[in-house]
Amino acid sequence: MLIRQTVAKNNGSVGGMLVDIQDAALVDWTEPAPRLANPVTVTDRPLEIAWIMSPPGRESGGHQNLFRFIKYAEDAGHKCSIYFYTTQELAPSIRDTKAMVAESTAYAKVAATMQNYDRSVGVKAGTDALFATGWETAYPAYLDPSNARRFYFVQDFEPSFYPLGSEAILAENTYKFGFHGITAGGWLSHKLSTEYGMVCDSFNFAVDKSHYSVTNLRKRNEVFFYARPVTARRAFELGIVALTDFAQMRPDITINLAGWDVSNWDIPFKYRNLASLDLTQLNSVYNRCAAGLVLSLTNMSLLPLELMSSGVAPVVNDGPNNRMVSNNPYIEYVQPNPKALARRLVEVLDRPDAVDRSVAMAASVANVNWEDSGTQFNDALERAMRG
């Protein structure tokens, strides 16, 4: 009923995998690696930090968050270098990437140098800390000849991005490489430490109040759905089924779909296709909405806190992956059942104190700041660097 579109695959590696199959073949994490045995320790000076990442895109939330924390590291006095790792035959244009980052309102402006990763060269001499930032980048980070201390900036449980198979196993193996994990939220830290024995720290999710605030103090008659049909963990089909039930119960309410252009999908109710919005456009959309349906089957999305800052009640699938990240009482946790989700959306809209609640929920995240998360990150990094 819903899907009519296929997504092109990466054509650079075996089966279109994100990791170079030669890198995957060379990593034997079951035997100790001598270069990882005696990592650098630093106690009394700023750090030289290398970040290996896949090439960033204009709408890549994970990369935007990475740049946010690179900026926090720089603000703490550390010097950063960014290395792009890809299996595509054509390496990314550094000039174009720099221009995209500079033009985007969603990317922090960093001083870090940017270059494509060359396995024959590795990161520059004198690197103290080397970060993997996604499962595929853990392989070059492991193999790099530097004796820099290895870290893993983990934003999600990436084995769940794939059906059970080679990519899922190769992604899961990276949690056994012996890197020090710094994770987005407590669920990942708990999962990786208890199930894989990783040493982990975590930072809290936060919200940028310069972008999100309550501007509408009237009763709201719209809802929002974070619609990402190309991202399986966002449960697009489940959300559409729930909203189909909701639309039958409340045909008077406008349904906004944003996150992806869904014009090529068959959706059985009236909706506004907002596609991919610029960061500067989101607050005005949110302030029209009483509720926002945000489904995430792995680590929690950043959207629930952002929605609350704009006075929108987030309706979120219940589970430890979400509750262990935020237990804010204004998050509407619901079992991932379409009819239950639809009923909760109706309940949110029909609350007689909806306007007062929108103000209260914004106040509940007023002191939840990314700067505090940056401090948590830097404290964990510097503590680990002391050995």
Each residue's pLDDT tens digit, 75-84: 999 999 999 9
Per-residue b or e along 162-192, where b marks 16 or more CB atoms closer than 10 Å to that residue's CB: beeeebbebbbbbbebbbbbbbbbbbbbebb
Asked if 265 and 229 count as a contact pair (C-beta separation under 8 A), the reply is yes
CATH number of 14-206+371-385: 3.40.50.11090
Give the tens place of pLDDT for each residue, 23-60.
999 999 999 888 899 999 999 999 999 999 999 999 89
Average pLDDT over residues 176-187: 98
Assigned CATH topology for domain 222-367: Rossmann fold (3.40.50)
Share of the chain above pLDDT 70, in %: 96
Taking the C-alpha atoms of residue 225 and residue 256, their distance in angstroms, rounded to an integer, is 6
> Are 14-206+371-385 and 222-367 equal in CATH topology?
yes
Residue 50 makes CB contacts below 8 A (sequence gap 6+) with: 80, 81, 83, 123, 124, 127, 129, 130, 131, 146, 148
Provide the mean pLDDT of the chain: 95
Among 136, 330, 312, 318, residue whose Cα is nearest residue 235: 318
Beta strand 48-53 with 332-334 is: unpaired
- Evaluate if residue 1 carries a pLDDT over 80: no
Give a three-class secondary structure readout of 213-234: CCCCCCCCCEEEEECCCCCHHH
pLDDT at residue 4 greater than cutoff 50: no
Give the residue extent of every domain in the chain. Answer: 14-206+371-385, 222-367
Q: What is the pLDDT of residue 16?
A: 85
Cα–Cα distance between 27 and 33 in angstroms, integer?
9
pTM of the model: 0.94
Q: Report the distance separating Cα 286 and Cα 224, nearest Å.
A: 7
Detail the DSSP E strand segments found in the chain: 48-53, 79-84, 113-116, 129-132, 149-154, 180-184, 199-203, 222-226, 254-258, 272-275, 289-294, 313-317, 332-334
pLDDT digits (tens, 9 = 90+) for 60-98: 999 999 999 999 999 999 999 999 999 998 889 999 999
> Under a CB-based contact definition with an 8 Å cutoff, are residues 342 and 243 in contact?
yes
